[in-house]
Structure 1
Amino acid sequence: MKRGSILSSRSLEMSEKKTHSAAAPDGGWGWMIVAGCFLTTVCTRAVTRCVSIFFVEFQSYFSRDYSATAWIHSLMDCTTMLCAPLGSYIGNRLSSRIAIMIGGLLSSAGLLLSSLAASVEFLYLTLGVLTGVGFALSYTPAIAMVGSYFSERKALAYGIAMSGSSIGTFILAPSVQLLIEFFSWRGALLILGGLVSHLCVCGALMRPLEGKRGRQKEMDLESGKKVDFLNIDIDESKPSDAKEYSFLLIPDFLLLLVSFLFLAYGCSVPFVYLVPYSLSSGVSPQQAALLMSILGVSGIVGTTTFGWIADRKCLRPYRVVSYMLAVGSEGLSCLFLPLLNVFSLLVPFSLVYGYFDGAYVALIPVVTSDTVSSTHLTSALGVVYFLHAIPYLISPPIGGWLVDQTGSYTATFFLSGVSLICSAVILAAVRVIIRCPRGSSSAITPVFSVT
């Protein structure tokens, strides 16, 4: 009887521990989730950024202009964001692990087929659409998984995870240039397809936090009961269908979405046109690829430092302010880019722009989670990235059209910088306008505050 009492208390203790672990353990297997998300951003966002390195090759091989080749990058980015809710849906209904693995297979197939392309239009479908869909299924669920495992150290965890895009850019940019020189653009795409297939490995790391059903299985195992391992665990803490998108009624979240629209238009243009602009200024192909690497290195510092700073207890209520500073500074640096036409001047631009780009990339899921709570984070990120789709689709072709019409990159970079600044100004203005009346009532929390 005494032994049964001990076993019972031990089972109760284990059950309590598992209940606590299901509520953001801030460590443990969470760091493996961070590692998986890190590799996912390498295989998705870093690869997307490096697609611009192929543009000169595509223009020469297919005899097409800037705007025609820019549609490839636009379609890839647009499809990735447009299908983000699909990734959220699969992640919520099945599991993030399944969504990421399916995405890895689709995106790898898209890159492999792109190596066989006979026209730019074929690349629109394979490299733009198919690869973009695969990235969409992998990217959003991986990011949301980090938010479910971290609370107190959320910004730091996201800083490390999202630095994958910067580190990946640093490594892949010169590597892709070398692959093109040694194996042609077809061979380079083939090798990138093999790299992206590692998303399946990333998906295998995404073990979900155990809900009630998972805890019951472990208790059954301890008591010797037969367990059906073929059943998929369902986390009962997930929101029901009726409440899954209730966060769309939160005013602060709607304001964030407006800011994200301007951000999405401006942020992708420099990554698309920095290499072509550098080449037109007389910079060698190797130096142009090095500029992309510098963007990546600087982004690493930006994601980690802003992630660490935003996690400080005294600064947590001001994470959105950090986001605004990062986006506004990025826009200002973009305005000066047309004045920089030699390699020695383009290096400081890459350092500054990359730093603040890494900062805001790490802060997007953080401020989103602070606004809607981690319960709705997967669906909310799906909506956030979905709204990125149209700006991502039209900004590079508009930039290419401006280059073709004016013979200069000045208008393209100026429009990008103004859009980024508007993103920060909108949030700042609305924050001041809404906070003033709220200040008279202590019952209402200030806009974007973190409790």
Structure 2
Amino acid sequence: MVFEKSPDGGWGWVIVLVSFFTQFLCYGSPLAVGVLYLEWLDTFEEGKGKTAWVGSLASGVGLLASPVCGVCVSAFGARPVTVFSSFMVAGGLMMSSFAPNIYFLFFSYGILVGLGCGLLYTATVAITCQYFDRRRGLALGLISTGSSVGLFIYAALQKELIKLYGLEGCLLVVGALSLNILVCGSLMRPLHSRSSSLPAKSYLEKIPDQYLIYNEKEKNVDEENVNILEKASTEGKGVNKPCSSDCKQDSLMNKNRLSSITSKETDVYKMKVAEQTYFYKQLAKNKWYLYLDYREETLGLFKNRVFSSLFVAIFFFDIGGFPPSLLMEDIARSSNISEENHIIPLVSIIGIMTAIGKLALGILADFEWINTLYLYALTLIMTSVALFLIPFAQSYIILAILSGVLGFLSGNWSIFPYVTTKTVGIEKLAHACGILMFSAGLGNSLGPPIVGWFYDWTKSYNAAFYFGGLCVLCGGVLLLVTALPCWDRLNGSDRHEKPLPHIGSYKVSFTA
């Protein structure tokens, strides 16, 4: 589908505003789940690995379902998806307040809230990219700061709500706040398709002739049935006594009337059968073609070397880079750092620095002389260095600095849709983002439980963060190496494709 030209302003700024608040309201609690994580550890007394599944599912399920989310947004539009998803998020949060055990939280908080957040994220990114082209990096950076600001505010808010109303009251209040997403969704006015539709034919005119005109065999069967009826009527007349002329005339008129009524009913019945037959055949054929198109497009995306590298790099990044935002409070407690020394919650530091990082990296992505792909790979490598340093942090100040660095670098999420758009184009953005977020969902779902299991086995987080840092480093190096232009010359692709532009005007043109 080809949309109208992006206005790069106007109502687009309203879209940015409501998308910001949508991500603020839906992601605030799931990203600040580290505060709830400590409460759930004390309430249900389960292992750290099992309890970490709640927060990891809340962040991972929506991303795992991103291919489905992308299809939903493409099929129904951003506004209906946003309205529907607001009830999922609010309902999941409120149901979690009545959770009798950790397994109930897997469904209510992990699956329901996570799936709703995934739908909302895809909707906000898709409609923002429709409204912005030249300023797309800035727009995506602004809306993605919504989740980071939500993390900063909700970390402190949930702590205060737990003190005032307990864990159950906290979840009820947060669930009620998320209903404001309804207002945001109502303002997401979509851009219309640029292609003008031709005057639609009536439904009957679209039906091929073979479904409306029956072949000679069917006509012969109908004539044969009429002949049998006439023969039976004639034989019946021979048995009865002769009637008067008036009686014969009335009988003939009744017969003609009955014949005309029967003929009309038969034609109507045939028409209905033809319509239904054609409808179901076309429906099955269209669904099959849609499946084939989706499969072909997916295979085509993975033939792009940059896209395949992004898929792997994002998976490794989320395995190692996501757990600190969920477990940093417990890391401080495990390092015997007293909560009295916490000037600001570590989760809040991650949140505010993530917001700054998203905005700063989004602005950098709009500069023509910056290659956004290399910028994204650089953030991965720097994240791995910060993860390697966490085991050496034995004070609140050092943990706060590392939390700020990790938060700023995780702001690369704002340029992720930007890189994806430059890689596959705006027409395939929803599809490509769905696949890449599926990879991120796998990492988000597995990362915190892996870190928790490492702690359960070794009674220390050191080995877990060495492992996480190594994963992120491998992803960053892989992405950086596969993006080098020399691969095209080695593969001889420069004979068939246009040469890669210089680093200042980055546009992906490599294939596997």
TM range (shorter): 0.7 to 0.9
Letter aligned with residue 365 of structure 2: A
Relative distance call for 1:394 and 1:164 in structure 2 (3 A) is same
Partner of 2:312: 258
SS at match of 1:441: helix
Task: Please give the secondary structure, in 2, of the residue aligned with 1:39.
Answer: helix
- Mapping for residues 197-276 of structure 1, pairs under 5 Å: 197-212=179-194, 243=293, 245=297, 246-276=300-330
Cα 1:158–1:397 shift into 2, 3 Å: same
Cα distance in 2 for partners of 1:256, 1:307 equals: 18
- The CA distance in 2 between the partners of 1:101 and 1:25, in whole Å, is 24
* Of 396-405 and 80-89, the range deviating more from structure 2: 80-89
Q: Could you tell me which residue of structure 2 aligns to residue 422 of structure 1?
A: 474
Change (3 A) 1:49 1:288: farther
Counterpart check, 1:326 vs 2:379: yes
- The equivalent position to 1:171 in structure 2, one of 130, 134, 153, is 153
2:124 counterpart of 1:145: no
1:370 to 422, 426, 433: 422
Change (3 A) 1:285 1:81: farther
1:63 aligns with 2:115: no
Question: Is 1:355 equivalent to 2:337 in the alignment?
Answer: no
Deviation at 1:86, TM superposition (A): 2.0
Cα distance, 1:401 vs. partner?
Answer: 0.8
RMSD: 2.5
SS in 2 for 1:148: helix
SS in 2 for 1:112: helix
Q: How does 1:376-395 map to 2 (within 5 A)?
A: 376-395=428-447
Counterpart position of 1:450 = 507
Contact 2:325 2:350 in 1 (8 A): no
Which residue number corresponds to residue 305 of structure 1? 360
Distance in 1 of aligned mates of 2:325 and 2:115: 20
Counterpart Cα distance in 2 of 1:350 and 1:156: 24
Say whether residues 1:398 and 2:477 are aligned partners: no
Amino acid in the other structure paired with 2:138? L
Mind listing any 5+ residue stretches in structure 2 that lack a counterpart?
Answer: 200-288
Amino acid at match of 2:317: L
Percent identical: 28
Bigger Cα Rg: 2
CA apart distance, 1:400:
0.6
Give the alignment partner of residue 17 of structure 2, picking from 31, 35, 38.
Answer: 35
Checking the alignment, whether the CA contact within 8 Å between 1:438 and 1:444 is kept in structure 2 is: no
Equivalent residue number for residue 389 of structure 2:
336
Aligned-partner Cα distance in 1 for 2:492–2:163: 61
Uncovered stretches (5+) of structure 1, i.e. residues with no partner: 1-19, 218-238
SS in structure 2 of the partner of residue 186 of structure 1? helix
Instruction: State the shift of 1:289 in Å.
Output: 5.9
Match of 1:124 in 2: 106
Instruction: Name the residue aligned to 1:15.
Output: none
Change (3 A) 1:376 1:21: closer
TM-score (norm 2): 0.75
Indicate conservation of the 8 Å contact 1:438/1:446, yes or no: no
1:107 maps to what in 2?
A: 89
Once the two structures are TM-superposed, the CA of residue 285 in structure 1 deviates from its matched residue by: 7.1
Compared CA separation, residues 285 and 134, structure 1 to 2 (3 A): farther
Counterpart amino acid of residue 307 in structure 1: G
Write out per-residue CA displacement over residues 55-109 of structure 1, whole angstroms, 9 at most, x where no aligned residue: 1211111121211211111222221112222221121111111111111101110
In the TM superposition, what is the alpha-carbon distance from 1:426 to its structure 2 partner?
0.4
In the alignment, the residues of structure 2 paired with residue 286 and residue 123 of structure 1 have an alpha-carbon distance, to the nearest angstrom, of: 31
Aligned match of 2:349: 294
Change (3 A) 1:61 1:248: same
Aligned length: 408
Displacement, 1:248?
A: 4.1
What is the identity, as a one-letter code, of the residue corresponding to 1:273?
A: L
- The question of whether the paired residues in 2 share the 8 Å contact of 1:111 and 1:192 is answered with yes
Q: How far apart are residue 298 of structure 1 and its match?
A: 1.4
How much does 1:240 deviate?
Answer: 7.4
Query: What is the rounded CA distance, in whole Å, between the counterparts of 1:412 and 1:212 in structure 2?
Result: 51
Q: Is the 8 A contact 1:174 1:286 kept in 2?
A: no
